[in-house]
Structure 1
């Protein structure tokens, strides 16, 4: 029996475990068998590989029993990513390629019937793992944009099986992928000055950008809640190299977006805004094999949930653990997959089903029971995890102020302030204020005795939890940083407590 070994990698959540493709050619009845826990897409590789080898004018071993083992056998294998590795293994076992030509390389790609290479999902985690092992990666040309975001790599791209074989045998070497020399950040269009009025909401948006705080806008329709949420993306600084690779890896695993992506867009923050009809699996991830959901695609970026009470309560409550831990674990029979999910949550809601309610029944067409049922979809534990609840009221006086020219841009200047505040926080405590741990609050947010008494009294009056107490402290620390104050004082605590619009609204509703 003639045996050849070729390396490739599987996709297992955000990991890329090594898979050894062992190809054996033996005497016997002609057969082509794939073993090693292959799923349907992998078993179908037999027909694709046979046709691709023949269409590329190579000899397909006839009269031999071909056995392909994908090791380790206890790891499920999905998709068509193993086609190229299987084809190279067959050619190596048949003597058409030398063992030395394949031993230090890894091969990825789906084969068409005429031998062309097609892109595969999850290429970025595989390339990062391949770089750690010091091997050369051979990938499809359509995955070029992903490969260009990685520096210090050994990676070549090919368009067909023939290109790859000629690269291995020497006549025509494939070019190495050149990494991006600079990551030019493209800021989103739209300026915060586009929002008319709403100075308190703009102030809250700036604080949320500085400290990484979660934010909830409460107000009637048409007051600018959605526009404010969209402007937050422009206030955030660019991602660093490590954060950019994390974002790009998640998008690579998701797969369906990368075909139209440019190399620079892989490293950009984005705003994910799923419709309120989405399921829990679409939001947090799921499927078989597990795929990242919207919260993972919003990693190091923004998740915007508009019309928050229209989401299913079960869907909203599935956010509770990721908001605390920064990751989500998808469990299926036999294995688990973990995806990063450190996102900034921005929500918007109307105060009642009719859209209007300011604490008095005269302002709404809905009854107290209808309003209670509408807002009751938001559980207390979820609201506890949102740092700021900001009122976005109607401001009819703003409409009377006719504007004759566009207001000057404010976002670039505010972005500089946000960047400076984030640098200050990371140098002081190693993280943003929103991520401060309870044991850090005693030193970073140390209060005078009178200020602590004031805060405790306010917490008891609003009926807030211990978690909300900590979140008020974190927000007050951001407010103090914005004011360039060394200590958190009563004025900072008072402003932090003023961003509890929904709590006040619910308290007024209970009094009706």
Structure 2
């Protein structure tokens, strides 16, 4: 007897439909259990887990050859979540549950040898996909609160295989799980705790308002990490659409605990020993990397030059396109990766730089060699570069600043509201209305400066201090500064401040600042 049930295979965060067909063939094939349809090692081992789970609940496999076909056969199948659908189709084939019991359902779950159903990753995208196919989802009990966030999709979340059998036979009723809790915003450090570094705080506010990439350069103890850790407090909570996108990535990675979601924007801070696969995704089973886990949030890279050059350069594409493509011989896996990059570094290996007390004796060569470990194309994608000088004892003796995170976040919210309103006027989507993401005709119209501002930008370009990408990013940055200033147009002073924060190579900053602070032309 042939029996089947739907399940899913994951390609990035996309869940593709897979039909699990089980049939018993002939007689005398006791112990023969084959799985076909391009399974990986974990899927191939499902037959032993299914066999053990059946024994754990007192069922014996029929004395026939059993074939489980995962259709379509040319789609790679990875993961242990195929255990439950194979077991359910086999139960229907054996007549343990009715032949029509599985109609209208998809299933995911890993089986234990005692018949319990263990949690798996990807319950949320699987439930969303099942709902789109007009199906309900059967998933492990631990994944039920997570799958329930999918909305209208029906969800069954049994603890064990025997409980599910009893449900289909009508001797036990499984209640639909409720969505997990929505966690309140976690406490974030306040900007008031940062003494001094007023220019760095201003840059942090600009970066938060427009979604710009930011780099802090300064000696140890100057507050670089403190500033970066306070950026999430300036950002608005995730919108419903962003919450779903981000949660689906975290679900595939298996990082959602007890179905609890949060509207806090992700803040990921990997160690500088992280590999390219850890940052952008990959591995034997392609998993989302830190860049994708930071989707719609912040990726903080401390000690930037200490990362492997290949790992850093792998971020260049997602910084431009907002997605990571993991190439395989038989597939290309795409993960969303629209994140805001914030990085920190010392000016040179000894950390002290070439000026002030305890300056590096090898400056400026030591600085140049150390900073050149970061490629020019990656530098070109960083909108604001801020130097954080050492914090003095006089700074530490000052009382806490009058303004903190709440005041700065209020200004950021006003600036982002202006951007959203402009985006609607220009037909842009919610995600594309941020100044840092403007492209095409909308970018040309929204960021166009006045004549004095354009003249200043032309000077910077003619001196070789701006690439074509740098030109566009400077205009976007100037637009954000104008938004914080409450200005409808981009003026010369906004362009000048944006140019001060642009950085190409060591030694070019002085030229930038001279151009930016030069008196306005008489015309």
User: What is the TM-score normalised by the length of structure 1?
Assistant: 0.93
Matched, 1:415 2:409: yes
Contact between 1:149 and 1:245, CA under 8 Å: does it hold in 2?
no
Counterpart of 2:20? 21
Distance 1:407 1:368, change over 3 A: closer
User: 2:150 is paired with a residue of what secondary structure?
Assistant: coil
From the superposition, tell whether residues 184 and 32 of structure 1 become closer, same or farther in structure 2 (CA, over 3 Å): closer
**Alignment-derived partner of residue 168 in structure 1:** 168
Q: Which residue of 1 aligns with 2:253?
A: 254
Q: Is the 8 A contact 1:196 1:398 kept in 2?
A: no
Q: How far has the Cα of 1:268 moved from its partner?
A: 3.1
CA distance in 1, matches of 2:422, 2:395: 44
Aligned pairs for 1:186-201 within 5 A: 186-201=185-200
Asked whether the equivalents of residues 466 and 504 of structure 2 are also in contact (C-alpha less than 8 Å), the reply is no
RMSD: 2.1
Mapped to 1, the partners of 2:406 and 2:345 lie a distance apart of 28
Cα contact 1:218–1:502 (8 A) shared by 2 = no
Partner of 2:485: 483
Contact 2:144–2:155 (CA under 8 A) maintained in structure 1? no
Q: Residues 345-494 of structure 1 correspond to what in structure 2 (within 5 A)?
A: 345-358=341-354, 363-396=359-392, 398-399=394-395, 401=397, 403=399, 410-429=404-423, 430=428, 431-461=433-463, 463-494=465-496
**Contact 2:145–2:179 (Cα < 8 Å) also in 1:** no
Three-state SS of the structure 2 residue aligned to 1:85 is: helix
Cα distance in 2 between the residues matched to 1:191 and 1:205: 13
- Indicate the SS of the match to 2:385: strand
Distance 1:190 1:503, change over 3 A: same
CA drift of 1:187 comes to: 3.5
Counterpart in the other structure of 1:121: 121
Query: Match for residue 205 of structure 1?
Result: 204
| 3-state DSSP of counterpart to 1:100 | coil
What is the 5 A alignment of 1:26-425? 26-29=25-28, 30=30, 31-57=32-58, 59-179=59-179, 183-255=182-254, 257-258=255-256, 260=257, 263-265=260-262, 267-358=263-354, 363-396=359-392, 398-399=394-395, 401=397, 403=399, 410-425=404-419
Summarize the Cα distance change of 1:44–1:442 in structure 2 as closer, same or farther, 3 Å threshold: closer
| Offset from partner CA, 1:172-231 (integer Å, 9 cap, x none) | 121112236x84541332101110011111111111111000001111111100000000
Deviations 1:134-157 (A, max 9, x none): 211111012134224322221121
Separation (CA, whole Å) in 2 of partners of 1:482 and 1:508 = 26
Give structure 2 stretches of 5+ with no counterpart. 512-523
Cα distance change on mapping 1:315 and 1:285 into 2, 3 Å: same
Aligned length: 501
* Contact 1:391/1:501 (8 A) holds in 2: no
C-alpha distance in 2 between matches for 1:439 and 1:501: 26
Residues 352 and 366 of structure 1 are in contact (CA less than 8 Å); yes or no, is this contact kept in structure 2? Answer: no
CA distance in 1, matches of 2:367, 2:387: 17
Distance 1:505 1:218 in 2: 14
Q: Which stretch of the first structure deviates more once superposed, 426-435 or 47-56?
A: 47-56
Cα deviation digits, residues 7-35 of structure 1 (max 9, x gap): 11112221111111111112222221111
Q: Is the 8 A contact 1:23 1:66 kept in 2?
A: yes
Once residues 260 and 176 of structure 2 are traced to their aligned partners in structure 1, the CA distance between those partners, rounded to angstroms, is 16
CA contact (8 A) 1:272 1:303 kept: yes
Mark the runs of 5 or more structure 1 residues left unpaired by the alignment. none
Counterpart in 1 of 2:519?
Answer: none
Structure-2 change in CA distance of 1:281 and 1:320 (3 Å): same
CA contact (8 A) 2:11 2:334 kept: no
Q: Deviations over 1:409-459 (max 9, x none)?
A: 721232232222212202202310001114323211222333211111023
**Partner deviation per Cα, 1:324-345 (whole Å, 9 max, x = no partner):** 0000100111111000000000
**Distance (whole Å) between structure 1 residues aligned to residue 491 and residue 460 of structure 2:** 15
Aligned counterparts of 1:454 and 1:137: Cα–Cα separation in 2: 60
SS of 2:24 mapped into structure 1: strand
| Superposed displacement of residue 87, structure 1 | 1.1
Residues 157 and 362 of structure 1: CA distance in aligned 2, closer, same or farther (over 3 Å) = closer
Q: CA deviation at 1:166?
A: 1.5
